[in-house]
Structure 1
Amino acid sequence: MKSSDVDILIIPGWSGSGPEHWQSRWEARLTTARRVVQDDWYKPSRHVWAERIVQAVRSATRPVVLVAHSAGCSAVAFAAEHLHPGEVAGAFLVAPASEKAKGAVPGMGPDFIAHRRERLPFPSVLIASASDPYCTQDEARELAEAWGSEFVDAGDSGHLNSESGHGPWPDGLLRFAGFLKSLSAVPQRLSQ
């Protein structure tokens, strides 16, 4: 599977990933990528954010691959319980935020803090750094296990955002291309 074969939905976390963030750069570079826009990037709500993802998935015309960062990873897990088998080909999850980190964010909806810990109904990879200030690697490994995600150790990479030097993040783009290739079968879109 190549990026031109799928609809890539970019799922930012709290604050929406600014213009220098790798998600924004990928969105500009990958022709089939588009951002799932939330009404308020500073007040995440479990139901609102999940519903916005579900709507974006259902309006896609090709198999969907989700690309989430930080609290966006939680939003993907919340949305997963409302998605039908075959609607999502896979999820590329990067630097999830811990419950403690989410709880410390002003405006974070109380319903958004706790992680949904059920297995995701699609293949996924979770990439986490050993030096992420918002989630320890042990916490990230626990989430990967709960979600059924392949765990990838990103080494000493901070929060894998522009502040930690991962604006363009070419290594991530290479890993994303490898993830796309690993998705063995393109799921058929369900009738809408």
Structure 2
Amino acid sequence: MAAESAQVFTLPGWQGSGPTHWQTRWEALHDFQRVEQHDWQRPLRGDWSARLDEVVGDAAGPVVLVAHSLGCVLTAWWAAHSRHAHRVKAALLVAPPDVAQPPLNHILRGWAPVARQPLLFSAAVLASSNDPYCSLAQARALARSWGAGFEDLGPLGHVNAESGLGDWPEGHAALRRLMAQAGC
């Protein structure tokens, strides 16, 4: 299966990804499609999961997910419950948050606990050593429980627009490696 045949969907986290976020830039540069959610400010796990299920179910072929922050937690939850999870060939999971810890447990009610079942597709977790929303040890533990590869990105904050990554070619290279390993 050629890389062109995989449909790549981005899954932003809480509040979406703004114009300078690497996900938004990748959408423009690589023709990736964002999974739009009804409410970026007050995310409901069930609503977000239903929307992802609809998008993956309607996809024309194999799917690759590129998730950031709460999008990582969404991916794990959705994959544990969806009949469409087999359509996903790979997932790049960047900066998963620890939704069980303050302040996120108060802001993002209903997202904990995080699904910890092994993912049925190739996955890689990329995490920062100084992410204010998740320790490196917790990100590594999530990767282990999901059966995903793990990469310590060093001190990049929450790996978002404030991290000043621009087009983030290193992240895109990690996505290409993951897709090649998954055969898409």
For 1:150 and 1:182, the matched residues in 2 are separated by 11
For 1:85 and 1:112, the matched residues in 2 are separated by 19
Alignment correspondent of 2:150: 151
Alignment deviations for residues 90-140 of structure 1 (CA, whole Å, 9 cap, x no partner)? 1110000112253142xx2x2213211111111110000111111000000
- Shift in Å, 1:51: 0.9
CA contact (8 A) 1:129 1:154 kept: yes
Alignment correspondent of 2:48: 49
For 2:165 and 2:85, the matched residues in 1 are separated by 33
Mapping for residues 88-127 of structure 1, pairs under 5 Å: 88-99=88-99, 100=101, 101-105=103-107, 108=108, 110-127=109-126
Alignment correspondent of 2:15: 15
Alignment deviations for residues 71-104 of structure 1 (CA, whole Å, 9 cap, x no partner)? 1101111110213453111111000011225314
For 2:65 and 2:133, the matched residues in 1 are separated by 21
Show structure 1 runs of 5+ residues with no match: 187-192
TM-score, scaled relative to structure 1:
0.89
For 2:83 and 2:162, the matched residues in 1 are separated by 33
For 1:9 and 1:162, the matched residues in 2 are separated by 19
Q: 1:19 to 1:85 in 2, by over 3 A?
A: closer
Is the partner of 1:86 in helix, strand or coil? helix
TM-score, scaled relative to structure 2:
0.93
Amino acid at match of 1:16: G
- Shift in Å, 1:9: 0.8
Q: 1:3 to 1:158 in 2, by over 3 A?
A: farther
Alignment correspondent of 1:189: none
Moved over 2 A (4+): 83-86
CA contact (8 A) 1:132 1:159 kept: yes
For 1:59 and 1:93, the matched residues in 2 are separated by 22
For 1:118 and 1:102, the matched residues in 2 are separated by 22
Alignment coverage as a number of residue pairs: 181
CA contact (8 A) 2:98 2:134 kept: yes
Show structure 2 runs of 5+ residues with no match: none
Percent identity over paired residues: 40
For 1:167 and 1:42, the matched residues in 2 are separated by 24
